Amino acid sequence: MKILIYGLHFKPDLIGIGKYTGEMTDWLFDHGHDIRVITAPHYYPEWKLKQRFLWHKKEHNPYLTWRCPIYVPSQPKGITRLLHLLSFALSSIPIVIKNISWKPDFIVSIEPPFFTTPFAIFFSKITKAKSILHVQDLEIDAAYSLNILKKGFLYKIVKNIERFILNRFNTISTISPMMKKQIVQKGIHKDKIYVLPNWADTENIYPTIDNKYLRNRLSIKPKQKIILYSGNIGEKQNLPNLINVAEKIQADNCNYIFLIIGDGAFKKRLVEDVKKRNIFNIVLLPLQPSRDLGALLTMADIHLVMQDKNISDYVLPSKLTNILSAGGVSIISAKQGTQLSQLVKKHEIGYLVEPDSESELYAAIIYLLVNKSQHNAISTNARKYAEKYLSKEKILSDFENNVLINGVINK
């Protein structure tokens, strides 16, 4: 089949939406599909362009990929974030038009950004391609919940436009049952929505990976316990609480080290705060090479999966999948009743804390580092869950068979 992938984020992103879109695209190509991609230059999570050009076409590596120019703000907030998303939507229009003559069987539009969805619908109508919207993040809901956008007279108009556009897609896929429920509440029939969860690399990430070389390279002492946060350093992660907890633990135990690995719009502020307060048990590093991911995940004694309290129903943390595959023990901030908290409780694959509670986060870290039986139980359950539910091969094979080949949506 001929498939056009249309989305802002793509490989070589090491985390988030770009990572999963790139892996899905590679998998589809490896399984015999003819692929083209319309995307942006790499800039995430550093929020800094690595290459500056107008439009760039790369052929046969291994498939044709168009990179469209975008505006990347150094501090994405409110209007600058909207302009960033809009810039890709507008710059991609000529490339969308250019590919009309190719006449693919499917166009797969990745949200965010939502701004590109009208062009994906237009393309599908002109070419008679079937349209799929894959929702990684309910960005409109998240933007209002985080007060990036203010609710006012435009709110109902925006929601009505969103409902109108969503109903024009042949299929909508999303990453969790709770996000499916949220989309149904927007007025979309449940039979149009397919749950396509983010996956783990269960074959290459497993609990017994040798990580001594990485610990030595990062100059971490053998007896030091590692509390790891790895990923985007942005406003959704509520990291100021983590800094406060690290400062408190610093006074209590010098053998506990907080390893914060990643980049993002708020990293500069975080570095300045740590330096100003002389918090020496925090080590801040850039994202590590993908070849070291397994060693990094198995090296950590505790993983931190942190979210803002207002978006627990909108965003399922993509980082959690490979943590589970590594048998990682996670402290997960999620409100009671959310899909994430229900999943963690049902399968006992992590330790839940309230998103804004520094005291709960502090107590959970101390408890899990001391209580070996509980630590081992969570680790075992995590790996079992990954093996059963998060296999990339099974998830993408089901998507190919159910959606692309047979058109069976309801799942």
Q: Do 218 and 242 fall into the same domain?
A: yes
Residue 89 is predicted with a pLDDT of: 96
CA atoms within 13 A on the CB side of 101: 3
Left, alpha or beta for 231 (phi > 0: left; psi -120 to 50: alpha)?
left
Q: What pLDDT, on a 0 to 100 scale, did the predictor assign at position 4?
A: 98
Average pLDDT, the chain: 91
pLDDT tier, 213 (very low <50, low <70, confident <90, very high otherwise) = very high
Q: Are 323 and 250 in a shared domain?
A: yes
Domain count across the chain:
2
Q: Are residues 157 and 43 in the same domain?
A: yes
- Give the chain's length: 411
Whether 136 is covered by a domain: the verdict is yes
Same domain membership, residue 173 and residue 249:
no
Is residue 272 situated within a structural domain?
A: yes
10 Å CB burial of residue 347 (0-12, 13-18, 19+) is middle
Query: Among candidates 181, 121, 211, which has minimal Cα distance to 314?
Result: 181
Instruction: Flag whether pLDDT at 408 surpasses 90.
Output: no
Does residue 384 sit in the same domain as residue 323?
yes
The span from the CA of 300 to the CA of 228, in Å, is 6
Are the CB atoms for 293 and 200 separated by under 8 Å? no
Instruction: Indicate if 239 and 325 belong to the same structural domain.
Output: yes
The pLDDT tens digits of the residues spanning 345-401 come to: 999 999 999 988 999 999 999 999 999 999 999 999 999 999 999 999 999 999 999
Task: Provide the total of helices (H) and of strands (E) in the chain, helices listed first.
Answer: 16, 14
pLDDT at 156: 82
| Cβ atoms 352, 332 nearer than 8 A | yes
136-176: per-residue pLDDT in tens?
Answer: 988 778 777 766 667 777 778 888 899 999 999 999 999 98
pLDDT tens digits, 24-50? 999 999 999 999 999 999 999 888 898
Question: Do 384 and 395 fall into the same domain?
Answer: no
Residue 204 covered by a domain? no
Edge-to-edge strands of the sheet including 256-261? 282-285, 256-261, 225-230, 302-305, 330-333, 351-353
Residues 359 and 234 in one domain: yes
Is 158 domain-assigned? yes
Q: Which two tokens stand for residue 265?
A: 């719009």
Is residue 205 in some structural domain?
no
The pair of structure tokens assigned to 408 is 């069976």
Give a yes or no: residue 206 inside a domain. no
β-sheet bridge partners, residue 78: none
CA dihedral angle for residue 224, residue 230, residue 233, residue 235, rounded to 10 degrees: -100
User: Can you give the pTM of this predicted structure?
Assistant: 0.86
Among residues 96, 34, 13, which one has the least CA distance to residue 263?
A: 13
Average pLDDT over residues 90-103: 97
For residue 88, what is the domain's CATH number?
Answer: 3.40.50.2000
Specify the pLDDT at position 129.
97
Residue 48 domain flag: yes
Task: Write the CA distances from 225 to 16, 132, 151, 372, integer angstroms.
Answer: 26, 45, 44, 13
Beta carbons within 8 Å of 212's beta carbon, 6+ residues apart: none
For residue 133, give the nearest of 39, 196, 69, 83 by alpha carbon: 196
Structural domain that includes position 344: 212-389
- The count of other CB atoms within 10 Å of the CB of residue 164 is 12
The tens digit of pLDDT for each residue in 183-202 reads 999 999 999 999 999 999 99
Percent of the chain predicted with pLDDT > 90:
71
In this structure, the answer to whether residues 221 and 194 fall within a common structural domain is: no
315-328: pLDDT as tens digits: 567 889 999 999 99
Average pLDDT over residues 47-57: 85
| CB-based contact 208:231 (threshold 8 Å) | no
Question: Are the beta carbons of 123 and 38 closer than 8 angstroms?
Answer: no
Residues 163 and 188: beta-carbon distance below 8 Å:
yes
- 8 token code pair: 């802002």
Distance CA(89)–CA(290), nearest Å, equals 29
Grade residue 266 by pLDDT with cuts at 50, 70 and 90: confident
